[in-house]
Structure 1
Amino acid sequence: MSDQPSLASLAELPSQDPAFYAHAYNNRARVPDNATHMARWAADSALVRAAAASYLENLPYGDPASPHADDERLDYFPATGVPAGTRPPLLVFVHGGYFRALDKRDHSFVAGVLPRRGVSVAIINYSLCPAVTVETIVRQVVQSVAWLYRQGDALGHDRDRIFAAGHSVGGHLVAMLMTALWPQVGVDLPAGLIRGGLSISGLYDLEPLRRADFLQVDLRLTESDVVRLSPAFLPPATRAPLLTAVGEIESSEYHRQNALIRAAWPDNVREDIPLPGRHHFNVMDDLARDGSPMLRALLAMIGGV
């Protein structure tokens, strides 16, 4: 008999006190030097952009007439050293920031190693709350991936090998991509459009965010939103592999969320990558470090699918 917690027990909220969620999810308060880490992300990202000879900036993926067209853009870093006549796989990276902060340019560092290892990288932007709803953000991320599929020939990647990775609510958005019914998004889109995902410190049940006042003031989540937009309570569209990771010293809620998706999606979650000594900000370091367990697992998934 398994001694792992059941899905029902993991889905049960540990507290009714909003202060509990305000503490558990306030990562900036939990990591006092968070600004140092984010400044390093920005500096490393600037170096990656400066060194990238052929990256494409601010490609529009949305409807030009959309009121949010300025936000619906992505940066594209093509793989280097790829043999002539071959098309590399593509990794779509989705940033975090609790749906209300940060930018793709803060995360160019994700494309520091992967293009040299034969993987093209697209880093997407989306609109931020409270100017838009979380549901709008989900739709934008879906739209960006559909656009990247359709632009495979023009950009040079293999549209049949598109993967996704994200941090924090970016991990939530990766999981939502894996629940998407792509043929309903567009008749030209295959059901298995997303071939695999990596979620770093992901969030899969949005109810705790609704209860954290410092977030809810901007997110304005309703009970209905939580039901429709929590991937732990939605079926994955395919059996595509999902890798998960959470920092050892992150809050108990991040560990519960991580265990929740593993229990909810047993046919998809293939590996949980240990991150000893990591908090919510330095969990990202291994994604940009060649030879790290996280990067090895990601490349193994891409190469094995």
Structure 2
Amino acid sequence: MSLQKPDGWLKFSAIIPDFQLWLQRMASDSKPVANALRLQREAYGRDDRQWFEWGHGSGTLPVVPVMVHGGYWRALHAADHRFVLPALSKLGVGVANIEYRLMPETRMEGLVADVVDAFEALSRRFPDARLLPLGHSAGAHLALAALGARRELETRLAGVVSVSGAFDLELVSRSFLQTELVLTGHEVERFSIKTAPQVPALFAFGSEETTPFPMQAEHLASTSAAACAVSVSRSHHMNVLHNSLTGDAPLLPLIRNWLAGETLPGSIEVRQP
């Protein structure tokens, strides 16, 4: 991956004026979802953060979208990302949302293992459907890293949707995040994502993202004929999920058609109404 400088890996609170407002909206918009979708929680490990929740979907495709939240591997909560689940529940027979442990208390290997364990548990929960991980930011990285750690998972997936993924850990290690994450050279080399997975993949990003996010999405999409880069108009890192997967959810028809077998071009733009 030809990214040389950490330019753009800045604190979002410094470059997005309404950063805190979007965090608050994520939490408030997520509050009614658990009851509305009748989500059920299951543990996949002994730690308080090793759990997933699932509900039934209203779609016809034999898939289960699975939200993997972001937070730069060291923050945020799955419960505050439920706001995307109503739209995702329209795709298939179920919908899910996973929680995982955080760095630096748990190292990257543990976070990836958590996502692997959650995917495997969900595959047992929905044996007649295939999972569709949808990760945002660090969650997009963890979804792809889980596939790299357990290749046989690919047979249980319909594809992967990455939204504003952060994949180049060498670049992360030279950013403000390193003081918290303390990434080792071994972690950077082992867990950086350098190519798209062997399953179909959509790499979405906001049109107003800082440079590393579209560059990484477009780079990974270029490494596979089964991958597509998707730009979401008028969106930055903190509102791209709201703009693409709530309200009219303009990303949803694209995902639905893609799952139904439609071949997408290597690059496409999703415009908000």
TM category, shorter: 0.7 to 0.9
1:56 corresponds in structure 2 to 40
For 1:38, what is the secondary structure of its paired residue?
helix
1:30 aligned to which of 15, 28, 31: 15
Aligned to 1:163: 132
Cα pair distance change 1:119/1:303, threshold 3 Å: farther
Normalised by the length of structure 2, the TM-score is 0.87
| Equivalent residue number for residue 115 of structure 1 | 89
Q: Which runs of 5+ in 1 are unaligned?
A: 1-10, 184-189
Paired amino acid for 1:60: A
Map 1:23-172 → 2, pairs under 5 A = 23-52=8-37, 54-57=38-41, 59-62=42-45, 64=46, 69-80=47-58, 88-153=62-127, 158-159=128-129, 161-172=130-141
Residue 193 (structure 1) aligns with: 156
Q: CA deviation at 1:198?
A: 0.6
Looking at structure 2, the residues matched to 116 and 241 of structure 1 have their Cα atoms a distance apart, in angstroms, of 20
Alpha-carbon deviation of 1:165?
0.5
TM-score (norm 1): 0.79
Q: What are the superposed Cα offsets for residues 45-95 of structure 1, whole Å, 9 maximum, x if unpaired?
A: 11222322x3203x1012x4xxxx21100111211476xxxx842111100
The alpha-carbon distance between structure 1 residues 277 and 80, as it changes in their structure 2 partners (threshold 3 A), is closer
Could you tell me how far apart the structure 2 residues matched to 1:227 and 1:194 are? Answer: 25
AA paired with 1:46?
Answer: K
Aligned residues: 262
Mark the CA change 1:261 to 1:116 in structure 2 (over 3 Å): closer, same or farther: closer
Per-residue CA deviation, residues 78-135 of structure 1 (Å, 9 max, x unaligned), is 11476xxxx8421111000000010010011111223244442111000111111122
Identity of aligned residues (%): 32
The alignment partner of 2:202 has SS state of: strand
2:162 partner SS: strand
SS of 2:95's equivalent in the other structure is strand
Is the partner of 2:155 in helix, strand or coil?
Answer: coil
The 3-state SS of whatever aligns with 1:232 is coil
Q: Which residue of 2 aligns with 1:5?
A: none
Distance (Å, rounded) in 2 between the aligned partners of 1:302 and 1:286: 21
Of 124-133 and 252-261, more deviation after overlay is shown by 252-261
2:271 corresponds to which residue?
none
Compared CA separation, residues 302 and 81, structure 1 to 2 (3 A):
closer
Which is greater in Rg? 1
Quote how far apart the aligned CAs of 1:260 are. 2.2
Structure 1 counterpart of 2:269 = none
Structure with more helix by fraction: 1
Report the CA distance between 1:191 and its aligned residue.
Answer: 4.7
Cα drift, residue 178 of structure 1: 3.6
Shift in Å, 1:266: 1.9
Could you tell me whether the CA contact under 8 Å between 1:246 and 1:254 is conserved in 2?
Answer: yes
1:258 corresponds to which residue?
217
- 1:304 corresponds to which of 244, 261, 272: 261
Partner of 1:211, secondary structure, is coil
Aligned residue among 210, 230, 235 for 1:278:
235
Higher alpha-carbon deviation: 111-120 or 32-41: 111-120
In 2, the alpha carbon distance for the partners of 1:256 and 1:287 equals 19
Distance in 2, matches of 1:96 and 1:138, equals 13
Select between 214-223 and 287-296 the one with higher mean Cα deviation. 287-296
